[in-house]
Amino acid sequence: MSVVRSRRRLAAVLATCAATVLAAAPASAAPAGLGDRVDVDRVQRHLVALQRIADTHDGNRASGLPGYESSVDYVAGKLRNAGFDVRTPEFDYQAYRLDSFALDVDGSPAEGDALEYSPATPRGGLTAPLSVAAVDDTPGCEAADFPADVAGKVVLVQRGSCSFAQKQQVAADLGAAAAIIYNNAEGPLGGTLGDPADARIPTAGVTRAVGADLAGRAGAQVHLDVQSRLENITTRNVIAQTRTGRPDNVVMAGAHLDSVPEGAGINDNGTGTAGLLETALRLGGEPGTPNAVRFAFWGAEESGLVGSTKYVQGLSFEQRLDIALYLNFDMIGSPNAGYFAYDGDDSDGVGAGPGPEGSAAIERDLTAAMAAQGVRLQGTDFDGRSDYGEFIANGIPSGGLFTGAEDLKTEQQAAEWGGTAGQPYDPNYHGPADTLSNVDEVALERNSKALATTIGAYAESTDSVHRGSRALAAEEPPMLGSHARI
C-alpha cells in the first residue's frame, strides 16, 4: 500500500482501534492475525526440545559448548524446513570461566559471587583490610566517594547510578586491591564488568544484607579468592529471513539462544526462543507480506551480548538502514511473571532515556497487543542487559517484551498481575533450577501471542513506527492485527 493511501486510512483505523484498546478483551481472547495462529502447546514443545538438549549435554546450552551447538541445529533445522533463508554465521569471542570463588571476612564465610570478567586473584586468594566507600546519589562513581587510604585494600561499594565496570575502574585507579559491590535491592547481585578490557581488579557481588553488615566493619580482614580464566570460543548466531517482502524495510526480531553454564536456561531464554521460533514457523518462509521479516537467535548473550553486538557491527551503514525496527524477547515466561514492555519514550522515567525515534510507537503497539488479552503492561528500562543494545546504539527503533528476572515483584504488581509480592520474578534466574518447571504457562502464552501479533502487523506495514511516531504521541495505542496497514 502506498504512503498516500496509508495516511488516508490512518484516522479511521485509529478511531476503531482506540476503542478496542479501552475495552480490552478478556484474557481468554487471542489477538488477531499471526498471534491467533501461535499455539502455546507448540511453543512448549520447543521448550521440551531445549530441555532435552541440555539434559544430554551436561545440563546446559551455553555458547561454546555442545548443548548450544545442538540448540543451533534444532532451531536452524526447523527454520530451513519452513522455507526460510537460513544462515549460521560464526564469530569469535573470549568466554569467561569461573573455576572457583570464596569470600570470608575475619575468618567467617560471606555469601557472594564473582562478577563476570572479574580478574583472578593470585592462587590462594588475597587478604587485605576492608575499606568502605561513601553512599550518595552516585556511589563509587567518582574518586571522591572513596577513603583516602583505599590503596591496597578491598573496597566495599554500593550498586547504583554507574556501571559495575566504572566502580571497579575508579577503585583500581586509586590503588585498591579488589572490590566488593553490594546490591541496593533484595536478592543476589549478579552482573558483568562488560568486557575483559574493562576489568581491572578482582570484583565480587554480594546481597544488600551482606553489604549492610560489611559497611559497619571497616578495617576487617577480607579474604577473596577468585580463580577465573578467559577461553577463546568460536560459536554461531542463527539468522533466518523470509524469501518474500521488501529487503530494504526488514522487520527484525531476536531472542538469545544460549543459556548460562549453570543450567538449561529454559526461561532465560528458552521462552523467548520458543515463542519467536513458533512465530516464525506460523509465518512461514514465503509469506505474502510487503516487508521481509528477519529472525535472529543470538549466541553468547550470556557472555556480554556478544552475538548481537558483533552482528550489528558487521553490517554496513546501508545494511543497518535496511532494518526498519528491532524487537527483542528475552525471558517471556518467568514463574512469578511481571508484564513489561521496553520503555521506548522514557515515560516511566526509570533512567536510561528513550530509545531511538520510533521506539515509543513500538512500545504502544506491544502494549495494545497485550491489552487485547486483558493485560496492562508496565514500562521497563533499556538498561543495556539484553540484545537491543547495539541496535539502539545505531539508531534503530527498538522494543520488546519481558517478564522479569531477579528483581522483586511489588505489592501493586501482584495485585494487578497475580503472583507473589516480595519475591523475584524468576527466583531461579541464572541457576540450575531454570528448567521446564520454571515457566509460567499463562505468561508464556500471552507474550508469545502478543509478539506474534506485533511481528505480523509490522510485516504488513511499519508506518506506525516510521511515520506515525510523532503524530500518535498523544493517542491511545492502536491494537494491531496482521492486516493493519497504518
Expressed in percent and rounded to 5, the helix, strand and coil fractions of the chain are 35, 20, 45
Q: What is the identity of the amino acid at 4?
A: V
The catalytic residue among 301, 363, 390, 406 is 301
- Name the CA dihedral angle for 179, 349, 385, 355, rounded to a multiple of 10 degrees: -140
Nearest one of 367, 257, 244 to 294, comparing CA atoms: 244
Burial grade of 441 (CB within 10 A; 0-12, 13-18, 19 or more):
middle
**Distance between CA atoms of residues 214 and 195, nearest Å:** 28
**Distance between CA atoms of residues 291 and 276, nearest Å:** 17
Phi/psi for 361 (5° steps) reads: -65, -40
Which residues lie below 8 Å from residue 308, measured CB to CB, with a gap of 6+? Answer: 237, 254, 256, 296, 298, 301, 387, 389, 390, 391
User: What residue has cell string 494491531?
Assistant: 480
**Cell numbers for 4:** 498516500
301 is catalytic: yes
* Residues annotated as part of the active site: 301
